[in-house]
Amino acid sequence: MPVLDPAANRPPQARRLPRARWTDPRLLAGIVIVAISVVVGARVVAANDARVAVWALRADADAGSTPSVQDLHQVRVQLDDTTQEHYVTAATSGTRLEELLAASEWAHDVRAGELLAESALVVGDVERAAELPLRVESGSMPADTSSGEAVDVWVSPDAKDPLEEPVATRVLQAVQVLSVRASGTALAEGGTQVVLVAVDRRTADFLDDVLAAIDSGHVTLVRVAAPGSST
C-alpha cells in the first residue's frame, strides 16, 4: 500500500507581494528630513545675507548732465552700515527716485558699473555758469585730484626780476573739479594736466580778470573741503 505524503496534499501558500519601495516608511522619513534640511538651510543663508540693494550706473555719464531712472539698475552688494550711508539704496525708488534725479545733475563724470554715491549728485539749483579748463603742470596739484573735489586756484606770477620774490594770489576759491585729463601735449610738457572746474554765476562776472591772472603765471591747485562739508 503506497504511503501518502501529507505535504503533497497541503494547499499552496499565498505569496505576499513586496511592498513598493516608495511607500517604505524609512524612505519617506528620509525624504522629509532632506526637505526640512533644505528649507532650514535656505532660511539660514537668507537671514545671514547682509547684502543690500543699491543703484548702479548702466552706462557712462558726463558731469553736468541730468541723470534719469533709465541710467540706473539695481545690484546687491555687501556694505557695512557706515559705508551704506554714502550710497543711494533701492529704498529710494519709484516717485522718490524720479524726483531726486530730476532735481539733480551729475557732480562729476561717472562710469558704467559704479554704485550711485550721494556725492555724485548735485541737488537743487545749480549755480554753475561756466566750465573753465586749467593747464596744471605736474607737481602743482595733489597727484590724486579727481572729479567732485573742491580746490582753490592759486597763481604765482612769473618773476621778471630774479631778485624779486613772486607773490601767489588766490584767483578762485573752492571751485569744483569736473574732470582731470592729461594734456594732448603732456609728453612735451612734462605731464601737464587739463583740469576742468566749474565756475558759478558770481565768479563768471569777473571771468576776464580771472583769465588774465591765470595767463600771467604758474597755476597751483590746493585741495580744500567742499562748501557745506563738515570735514
Cα 199 to Cα 9, 115, 132, 135, 210, distances in angstroms:
117, 27, 7, 16, 11
**How are strands ordered across the β-sheet holding 128-136?**
128-136, 193-200, 169-182, 150-157, 217-224
What pTM was estimated for this model as a whole? 0.47
Do 109 and 139 fall into the same domain?
no
Cβ 120 vs Cβ 146: under 8 Å: no
Residue with cell 592729461: 182
* 137 falls within a domain: yes
Q: For residues 164 and 50, what is the distance between their CA atoms, to the nearest angstrom?
A: 63
Do 150 and 208 fall into the same domain?
yes
b/e code 199-208 from CB counts within 10 Å (16+ = b)? bbeebeeeee
Do 178 and 217 fall into the same domain?
yes
Last residue of a domain, one of 123, 155, 171: 123
Last residue of a domain, one of 76, 92, 123: 123
* 43 falls within a domain: no
Number of domains comprising the chain: 2
Residue ranges making up the domain that contains 111? 51-123
* 57 contact partners, CB below 8 Å, separation of at least 6: 71, 72, 110, 111, 112, 113, 114, 116
Do 171 and 112 fall into the same domain?
no
**pLDDT string in tens for the chain (231-residue length):** 555 555 555 666 656 655 555 566 776 777 778 778 777 666 655 545 568 899 999 999 888 788 889 999 999 988 887 787 788 888 888 888 887 888 788 878 889 999 998 878 876 554 566 889 999 998 999 988 887 788 999 999 876 666 667 788 899 988 888 888 877 654 444 578 999 888 877 777 788 888 998 998 899 999 987 554 544
**Under DSSP, is residue 10 helix (H, G, I), strand (E, B) or coil?**
coil
The CATH number of whichever domain residue 106 belongs to comes to: 3.90.1210
* 10 falls within a domain: no
Last residue of a domain, one of 62, 90, 123: 123
b/e code 100-110 from CB counts within 10 Å (16+ = b)? bbeebbbbbbb
Cβ 157 vs Cβ 166: under 8 Å: yes
